[in-house]
Amino acid sequence: MREEQPIVAVTPNTLVGEVKTLCDQGWRLVQIGVTSLGELFEVNYSFDRDQHFLNLRLQIPAAGASLPSISGLYWCAFLYENEIHDLFDVTFDGLALDFKGTLYKTAQPFPFANRARAGVSTTVVQPV
Amino acid sequence: MATRTVIPFGPQHPVLPEPIHLDLVVEDEKVVEAIPSIGFIHRGLERLVEKKDFTEFVFVAERICGICSFIHSQSYCQGIETIMGLEVPRRAHYLRTIWGELSRIHSHLLWLGLMADGMGFESLFMHAWRVRERVLNIIESTTGGRVIFGSCKVGGVRRDIDEPAMQSLLAALVETERETREIVQVFLNDSTVKHRLCGVGKLSHEDAYKLGCVGPTLRASGWAQDTRKLGYAAFDELTFQPITRTEGDCYARVAVRCDEIFQSIDLIRQAAAKIPAGEIAVKVVGNPNGEYFVRTEQPRGEVIYYLKGNGTKNLQRFRVRTPTFANIPALVKTLQGCNLADVPLLILTIDPCISCTER
């Protein structure tokens, strides 16, 4: 069984408008996920309505990545966005609940960002 | 205005076998705000995929959770098989369905036991876990494992269930069903249980959807959303309807899970009656190249696997959104306004699995 999974390309500028349209149409936010593509991050916003699956996809530079938060439309997005921040060092503007990097207590900051592989030193936080 | 106090709840607490922390802002005995913290045991398994062969990674995926372990391995394998265009034998799909539903039964019984324990109803807790032991015995007799089945692999399954073993399984289910009906009567009708659960932690129909809830938490608020209706594995050939309640309170979430145990028993019987003969696996040649979002129904609700391969033996990306992660925002909302004494039960009714969440 292969489910139809349409992907709609968006940009950081059009993201909130597209998400609002889906929100108004009654789509449920299923997940937000990031894939590292070297110099770029690919971000997938997945939605479901009546067992139909839809993705909004955008790409942003991995270094200094920033996106507008959609937690104003889908409050539950705060958890995904905090997770992405803590793992990938992507900042979100307008987060409904900002943990300021304390959602995950990882030994290495932003462990899923590309810094370690790129040879950039990272500060290791010793457990207390 | 009453004085506000912040009460730390967890990560170590008698009702929490796994670590989640909540800062509960209370006014007298009322919770006015709850701020969650997770990440105490984040394992970074999603990153490990870059170092493991995609066929070996099934073992890691299965260990994301110690309760719904099999469905994790099934989801992973389904994703790889879809990307690679593998035609898995129907018998393997049926076997996966049977083991997946056995996982659901033992998970729900485990949870019912924890719920009883949370209410201080120790004898009910022991009865629930006694019945669960029967299910674990079935799993052990058919897979060799009780927690980690190790039966799923890319391309099919490793083990078959022959006819005598299937008959033995069905016979054990008869007794399991009878005993489960006895304890479910207590969960649904006992006055002390109802007193603790009815009207507590209400999640409205609209909020459950807007907050991105999944599984029994969503269905207890009236949404007939069950990922098994997508028809993966053998579910396209089995007859069932999602179990729903409309009350949206703790009692409704208990009732949905109770009914789902019997639904799973029925699904196993249907699958045992329809399972075709034949091979249980196909040979896997090549490496995955492409991407796919897998959606399956775990005991706690819909899980999403995102798999992306680039034609090498290592996947480029492996991402899991677990059902507990999706239900945390709803937990935060329902805690607002509840009594402090109800917090443990309210947390339990989303059936939190932090092990999954900290994949």
Report pLDDT digits (tens) over B145-172.
998 999 999 999 999 999 999 999 999 9
Q: Where are the domains of chain B?
A: 41-323
Torsion (CA) A77, A44, B223, B328 in degrees, nearest 10: -40
B321: nearest CB among A2, A28, A31: A31
**Predicted confidence (pLDDT) at residue A114 exceeds the cutoff of 80:** no
The shortest C-alpha distance from A9 to chain B (Å) reads 16
pLDDT at B266: 97
pLDDT for position B66: 82
Least confident of A11-15, A121-125, B127-131, B215-219: A121-125
Which of A44, A102, A112 has the CB atom closest to B47's CB atom?
A112
Asked if B210 and A74 come within 8 Å (Cβ–Cβ), the reply is yes
Report pLDDT digits (tens) over A62-100: 888 889 999 999 999 999 999 999 989 999 999 988 888
Segment B312-341 mean pLDDT: 91
Note the ipTM here: 0.89
- Measured CA to CA, the distance from residue A61 to residue B239 in angstroms comes to 48
What tens digit of pLDDT does each residue of B168-189 get? 999 999 999 999 999 999 999 9
Instruction: Assign A16 to helix, strand or coil.
Output: helix
Average pLDDT over residues B121-141: 95
Residue B1 has pLDDT above 80, yes or no: no
Average pLDDT over residues B18-45: 86
Among B4, B68, B117, smallest CA distance to B344 is for B117
Average predicted confidence (pLDDT) for chain B: 92
Predicted confidence at residue A119, as pLDDT, reads 42
pLDDT for the residue A115: 55
Contact check, Cβ <8 Å, B44/A111: yes
pLDDT on residue A127: 47
pLDDT tens across A13-57, in order?
999 999 999 999 999 999 999 998 888 999 999 999 998 999 999
Rounded Cα gap, residues B253 and A51, in angstroms: 22
- What CATH topology corresponds to B41-323? Cytochrome-c3 Hydrogenase; chain B (1.10.645)
Distance CA B246, CA B224 (A): 10
Strand partners, B319: B306
Residue B315 near residue B309 (C-beta atoms within 8 A): yes
Q: For residue B275, what is the DSSP state?
A: P
Q: B14 vs B136, which has greater pLDDT?
A: B136
pLDDT value at position B3? 87
Q: Are the Cβ atoms of A97 and B35 closer than 8 angstroms? A: yes
Peptide bond into A12 cis (omega under 30): no
Measuring CA to CA, how many Å separate A92 from each of A68, A70, B73, B205? 5, 9, 33, 29
Quote the pLDDT of residue B17.
73
Question: For the whole model, what pTM was predicted?
Answer: 0.92
Res. B140 pLDDT band, cuts 50 70 90? very high
pLDDT of residue A25: 96
CB A99 within 8 A of CB A82: yes
What is the amino acid identity at position A82? N
Question: For the domain with range A7-113, which CATH number is right: 3.30.460.80, 3.40.50.300, 3.30.70.20, 3.40.50.10420?
Answer: 3.30.460.80
Across B112-135, average pLDDT:
93
Interval A54-70: pLDDT, tens: 999 999 998 888 899 99
Among A19, A23, A25, A30, the strongest candidate for a mutation testing the B interface, having the largest count of B CBs within 10 A, is A30
Residue B107 corresponds to which tokens in the numbers above?
Answer: 């998970």
Asked if B21 reaches chain A (Cβ–Cβ under 8 Å), the answer is: no
* Chain B residues in contact with A53 (beta carbon < 8 A): 293, 295
Q: Do B212 and A74 touch (CB under 8 A)?
A: yes
Residue A126 DSSP one-character state? P
- Specify whether the CB–CB gap between B329 and A78 falls below 8 A: yes
B82-103 mean pLDDT? 96
Judge whether residue B267 has pLDDT over 70.
yes
Q: How far apart are CA B19 and CA B17, in angstroms?
A: 7
How would you classify the pairing of strands B152-153 and B156-157? antiparallel
What's the whole-number mean pLDDT along residues B107-120?
93
What was the pLDDT predicted at B50? Answer: 80
Which residue would you say has higher pLDDT here, B357 or A78? A78
pLDDT for A121:
42
